[in-house]
Structure 1
């Protein structure tokens, strides 16, 4: 890890880029119709499925990109176990948050091109709602995952809904379960659909 790495800087960069993108996309909307608003739940469901399959697939199997597997299974899951989930300092944030290059990839290679395609094939409102929801989902993923690795004594970690999601994620960090259960990081929708919720 670079001596110049700052965990709070990493957290701020991710939050600022995502919130800025969401805000910009929402300012582009022009009187969206009820049908166009359906883009939000559709994108949410798509993102939840992508999160699930990305986590269940390449993050936990060597058949995908080698660096993805190494970063997640060999580093993240060894750094944080079901018996020791909390980071000890802000430099540990590097093991929780996606690297900034993946934020750039998600924005530049997924959200923007699909948004541009929707701009041409559907309507500008659908495109902007897709971009806002996709980037909002990415940020939700990062913030929730960050919260799951807070010390158990943190007031935020004890909030009822967050406590449930934290337990869901902690079980996934059990070496006996990590390749079999609780692949959703945000909300266990796909885990329920595919029977992997424990």
Structure 2
């Protein structure tokens, strides 16, 4: 059963004047004049690709069975993306209130289904995860998970899991950012891209944002869990 739908705020309904005010307030409070969106993206990609490169470098002739770690991790990551978005990002969870605040109370007011485009690279701040959070997840999740899997199975399985998980995360960030780029950007001409972008635009409709289209990347779990809105 859906949670009770609250009365939408003017920002959620997409009132242009209110959205402009929300964006101006967000920029004034959270975006430093020294911030550079392209640098933020470059740092995210460098960190992620560095982790992947190390994992690939340390691999030792994986067996066919060990290579199956890649699709298994992909499906797990797709579920984690769906569950994290559905719950922590759209419902206050004890200990993860900052995630809910950043996503539901900031991102979804900065971007509505009628105002999806960023204005310039400074607005990357409202889309990309902070570098500190990325570093935290590497140290608090990927490293312990890798060590546990290495102990339970072997080093190759652990390295493939970490590399695939990080590749999935980078894919998540790039797709999410791309959905918010201007419609005349070349990325919108990639075959099939607009279908994914449209799913995310639908998710930004305040009436269904807490109920539908939680996969940012590929709607596998949305399809399996019945939360796929194909409008």
Counterpart of 1:75? 106
Counterpart of 2:38? 8
Counterpart of 2:88? 58
Please say if residues 152 and 158 of structure 1, whose CA atoms lie closer than 8 Å, have aligned partners that are also in contact. Answer: no
Q: CA deviation at 1:105?
A: 1.9
Counterpart of 2:166? 135
Counterpart of 2:196? 165
Structure 1 moving runs of 4+ over 4 Å: none
SS of alignment partner, residue 228 of structure 2: coil
1:100 to 124, 127, 131: 131
Q: CA deviation at 1:189?
A: 0.7
Counterpart of 1:90? 121
Q: Which deviates the most, 150-159 or 33-42?
A: 150-159
Please say if residues 80 and 86 of structure 1, whose CA atoms lie closer than 8 Å, have aligned partners that are also in contact. Answer: yes
TM-score by length of 1: 0.97
Over 3 Å counting, the alpha-carbon distance change for 1:119 and 1:63 in structure 2 is: closer
Q: Distance in 2 between matches of 1:88 and 1:150?
A: 8
Q: CA deviation at 1:155?
A: 1.9
SS of alignment partner, residue 184 of structure 2: coil
SS of alignment partner, residue 160 of structure 1: coil
Q: CA deviation at 1:134?
A: 0.6
- Confirm whether residue 110 of structure 1 aligns to residue 141 of structure 2: yes
Q: CA deviation at 1:63?
A: 3.2
TM-score by length of 2: 0.84
Superposition pairs for residues 140-159 of structure 1, below 5 Å? 140-159=171-190
Q: CA deviation at 1:2?
A: 2.0
SS of alignment partner, residue 214 of structure 2: coil
How many positions carry a matched residue from both structures?
198
Q: CA deviation at 1:3?
A: 2.2
Q: What do the CA deviations read for 1:76-120 (whole angstroms, capped 9, x no partner)?
A: 000011111110111100001011122112211111110111112
Counterpart of 2:48? 18
- Confirm whether residue 188 of structure 1 aligns to residue 214 of structure 2: no
Q: Distance in 2 between matches of 1:190 and 1:181?
A: 11
Q: CA deviation at 1:160?
A: 2.3
Q: Which deviates the most, 150-159 or 162-171?
A: 150-159
Which runs of no fewer than 5 residues in structure 2 stay unpaired? 1-30
Which runs of no fewer than 5 residues in structure 1 stay unpaired? none
